Structures are given as structure tokens and as C-alpha cells.
Amino acid sequence: MSENDDAGDSRDGGNEHSDTGTNAGADELTHTTAEGDVQMVDVGDKPDSERRAVAAGEIRLRRSTIEAIREDEVGKGDVLATARIGAIQAVKHTWETIPMCHQIPITNVDTDFSLGDDRVELRVAVETTGKTGCEMEALEGVTTGLNVVWDMVKAVEKDDDGQYPDTGIDNVRVLQKAKHRT
């Protein structure tokens, strides 16, 4: 996929691009009517394109928790396998949780976990062929996958007061967004 310009993509959260590649002004937002009412954008006339988005994020954990994940010694089960399922499920259901997202045909989801000394990084790549991008699906996969990691390890991450002083989800972002007209 060669084009990184999603001019007119309906799900850029108001960051539409004009023909000059600049961000659209507030008076050009496509998710609101002239009266300020929220609306879903009609993408019916847009041509189908092959689209791909990659998002990433990380969860900070105690070093002992990372070691338990590595050794598959977490009481709830295989943390990364469970998080992978959660991430994929979230990608497929993004349209149900993000109000202005269209339901799109997901053609591929790839998840990649990396274990550091004190963190788990997750990258989610999503592919589709359709009329609108898939970056929200990739972001949804990352955030849910990391939330599943947290859920799986929360018993060992809590301190004596039942709090999570060393645990946090950080740096969630879109790394790549591409499209290629079919």
C-alpha cells in the first residue's frame, strides 16, 4: 500500500485533509451538521481501497510480573494468548464502541507482543478493503489487549493497599496508516 493520505476519510476524528494536505478547519468538520448535531458520515460514494493501520501501546508492570508472564506462571493462565484474543475481538467490534465508526470488513489482524524488563508492548496491525480507514480498529485492539494484560495480572500487581502504583498503560498511538486504491 503506497498512499498515506486519507483525504476525506470519515473517521479521522475531524482531522480531515483537504486537497492541499492541510487540516480542515472547524467549519469543515464532517461529523456535525450546520446546526452542530452529530452525524455519521456517508461513505457510500467513496471507492474501495486496501487499507492498513498499525497502532501500539505499552503497559508498565513490576519486573516480577514480567518474569511470571515469561515463565507462564500467572494464575489466571496464558496472559499473552488471552490478550491476543481480546485484541482481535476488540478490532472486530470497534464499530459497536466508537459511535461514529462504520462497521468495516476486517481482512486481517496481526498482534505482536514484546516483553521488556518492566513493560509489555503491543502492536496491532489491521487490514481491510473498504471505504474508510481502520486506525480506530487498531487503536481499539491495542487498548483492549493491554487492558486484558492488566486484568490477567492484577492480583500480582496490587500493593498491600490494593492499589496499582507500578502499573499503567502508556504511549498508545497510531504508527502507520496507509491506503491503496483497488
Q: Which of 84, 67, 78 is nearest to 157 (CA)?
A: 67
Q: Are strands 119-130 and 168-181 parallel, antiparallel or unpaired?
A: unpaired
Number of structural domains in the chain: 1
User: Does 30 fall in a domain?
Assistant: no
Amino acid symbol at 18: S
Confidence at residue 151, expressed as pLDDT on a 0 to 100 scale: 98
Instruction: List the CATH number of the domain containing 53.
Output: 3.30.70.640
The verdict on whether 27 is a catalytic residue reads no
User: Does 13 fall in a domain?
Assistant: no
pLDDT in tens, 70-106: 999 999 999 999 999 999 999 999 999 998 888 999 9
Q: Which domain holds residue 119?
A: 47-181
**DSSP, res 24:** P
Confidence at residue 42, expressed as pLDDT on a 0 to 100 scale: 67
Catalytic choice (9, 42, 117, 151) = 151
User: Does 19 fall in a domain?
Assistant: no
User: Does 10 fall in a domain?
Assistant: no
Q: Which residues pair with 170 in a beta bridge?
A: 58
pLDDT in tens, 121-180: 999 999 999 888 899 999 999 999 999 999 999 999 999 999 999 999 999 999 999 989
User: Does 38 fall in a domain?
Assistant: no
Residue 7 pLDDT exceeds 60? no
Q: Which residues have CB under 8 Å from 55's CB, separation 6+?
A: 123, 124, 135, 138, 139, 141, 142, 172, 173, 174, 175
User: Does 177 fall in a domain?
Assistant: yes
How much is the pTM?
0.80
What is the C-alpha separation between 73 and 66, in angstroms, rounded? Answer: 10
Confidence at residue 35, expressed as pLDDT on a 0 to 100 scale: 77
Q: What are phi and psi of 20, to 5 degrees?
A: -90, -5
Residue 17 pLDDT exceeds 50? no
User: Does 67 fall in a domain?
Assistant: yes
Which comes out higher in pLDDT, residue 19 or 169?
169
Give me the chain's average pLDDT, please. Answer: 85
Helices 63-70 and 135-157 cross at an angle (nearest 10°) of 100
The answer for 171, left when phi > 0, alpha when psi is -120 to 50, beta otherwise, is left
Q: How many residues are there in the chain?
A: 182
User: Does 27 fall in a domain?
Assistant: no
pLDDT in tens, 26-53: 456 566 667 777 766 767 677 788 999 9
